[in-house]
Amino acid sequence: MSIIIKNGRVVTSSEDFTGDIFIESETITAIGKNLPHKAEQMIDASGLLVFPGGIDPHVHLEMPFMGTFSSDNYETGTRAALHGGTTMVIDFILQTQGKSLNSALDEWRGRSDGNTFCDYSFHMAVTDFNEKARGEIRGLVEKEGITSFKVFMAYKGALMIDDRQMIGLMNEVRDCGGIVTVHATNGDMIDYLVAKHRSEGKLSTLYHYLSQPEITESEAAGRFVDMAFYTGVKSYIVHLTCEGALNQVREATMRNQKVNVETCIQYLLLDASLYENDFDGAKWVMSPPLRQRKDQETLWAGIEQGLVQVVGTDHCPFMWEQKLMGEKDFSKIPNGHPAIEHRMELLFSEGVKKGRISLNKFVELTSTNAAKIFGMFPRKGCLGIGADADIVIFDPEKKHAISAETHHMNVDYSAYEGWEVTGKVETVLSRGKIAIENGDLKISKGHGQFIRRST
Ligand code: URP
Ligand code: ZN
Ligand code: ZN
């Protein structure tokens, strides 16, 4: 099957021109102005933007967490991703403490294999670093193409590792050429504050926020950055939210250290005042919590300064009934919010349309940088000859409102209900196949492939 996309405004992280893209089977084979190629199908993209499919490197699908499972599975989550212009996701495998990394991989494959609409990969979250786990790292990198290893500095008793384990893991991952990614918040400080608030009968949603003050994140980010500097491992901080944590990264640049940083769409757009509305605030109970307006300003500036390279979602949805598990105690509200479908349109509308970022920066943040950092470039993250034809055709002027009534995620509320956005995904190609057209899904479950990544 061949397709030609004609007369679109082709935007990559470095280019911006009106032209054509020719696709044969799964791959882009020609790009240019007035291409003479004859194709079986022609898509007229006049007046529309054409950019690389989004890569969301931070999603949690059907993940066992806090006594339940996130409500989007691989089928519903990757379908919603495509509707929003994301053509590749990286999900997290969680090692069970006391068990091996490979058994966790088998468990995650059991849920995901054959069930995805878009392409996907896994980060391996190492929650119990010991000699056995150390011995499994090289095989994951070299045989499975899983090159990124996540650590949690919080969620003690389930996911958190200590600093001794962290150093051991960093050394091993460095030797294997991989990257260590981190949920950087100080678990002990948070647990202390959670226990204190609960013992004082302070159980409302607001206390989720008050149990994770900025210092809990800046302290852990600084400690992680120091350990990465000491070991020399390639590093990445996930869902960075605040000024204090970003300043730790800024300071590290003064000793010529490079730390990759991801923030998430919610930390750019939403703030902690949402926790003041009684239990309704549970929609935004996530860790780290939403911060203050001054932190949003810091994150937008950090993007401009090149300190923040990726905007993900940390998509981890729960049905309202699941959120109600914490109605009487904030510490029992499952942490996470739904966003996989809306990252691209929200960032375009609030970022590009409002003049905060350029179109090229938009592509960098939503696709190219994640592909580069996580070993998929130039197969993914760009519109280049030989790249997978993961392409979004986007109407930059179409206005619409976000709502749970119309979204495709398996969750019964929207964290952005009623938000008016400018810009809409029109057509999405996933490895050369039209996946979304006029809002309709055109491919079947199982189209998505596991993507082996390199170092
Ligand atoms: O609240 C969140 N972020 N839930 C998902 C797990 C994590 O910490 O990323
Ligand atoms: Zn996290
Ligand atoms: Zn997460």
Q: pLDDT tens-digit profile of 102-138?
A: 999 999 999 999 999 999 999 999 999 999 999 999 9
Residue 56 region by backbone torsions, left for phi larger than 0, else alpha for psi between -120 and 50, else beta: beta
Q: Is the pTM of this model over 0.95?
A: yes
Q: pLDDT tens-digit profile of 341-391?
A: 999 999 999 999 999 999 999 999 999 999 999 999 999 999 999 999 999
Q: What pLDDT score was predicted for residue 451? A: 98
Q: Is the pLDDT of residue 277 over 90?
A: no
Ligand 1 neighbour 314 (Cβ under 6 A): yes
Ligand nearest to the CA of 151: 2
CA–centroid distance, residue 24 to ligand 3 (Å): 36
Q: Is the pLDDT of residue 298 over 90?
A: yes
Average pLDDT along the chain: 98
**Amino acid letter, residue 131:** E
Question: Which whole number is the average pLDDT over 83-110?
Answer: 98
Ligand 1 neighbour 323 (Cβ under 6 A): no
CA–centroid distance, residue 87 to ligand 2 (Å): 22
CA–centroid distance, residue 298 to ligand 2 (Å): 20
Ligand 1 neighbour 286 (Cβ under 6 A): yes
Ligand 1 neighbour 287 (Cβ under 6 A): yes
Question: Which whole number is the average pLDDT over 405-421?
Answer: 98
CA–centroid distance, residue 57 to ligand 2 (Å): 12
Q: What pLDDT score was predicted for residue 52? A: 99
Question: Which whole number is the average pLDDT over 21-41?
Answer: 98
Q: Whose CA is nearest to atom 7 of ligand 1?
A: 287
The DSSP 8-state label assigned to residue 371 in this structure reads H
C-alpha distances (whole Å) from 239 to each of 59, 82, 326 are: 11, 22, 23
Q: pLDDT tens-digit profile of 328-350?
A: 999 999 999 999 999 999 999 99
Nearest to 161 by CA among 130, 190, 120: 130
Q: pLDDT tens-digit profile of 160-195?
A: 999 999 999 999 999 999 999 999 999 999 999 999
The secondary element (H helix, E strand) that includes residue 37 is none
Ligand 1 neighbour 178 (Cβ under 6 A): no
Q: What pLDDT score was predicted for residue 267? A: 99
Return the ∠ at Cα 324 (arms to 314 and 279), rounded to 5°. 85
Ligand 1 mutation pick, 56, 60, 93, 241, max ligand atoms within 8 A of CB: 60
Ligand 1 neighbour 335 (Cβ under 6 A): yes
Question: Which whole number is the average pLDDT over 212-240?
Answer: 99
**Beta carbons within 8 Å of 195's beta carbon, 6+ residues apart:** none
CA–centroid distance, residue 37 to ligand 3 (Å): 44
- pLDDT above 70 covers a percentage of the chain that reads 100
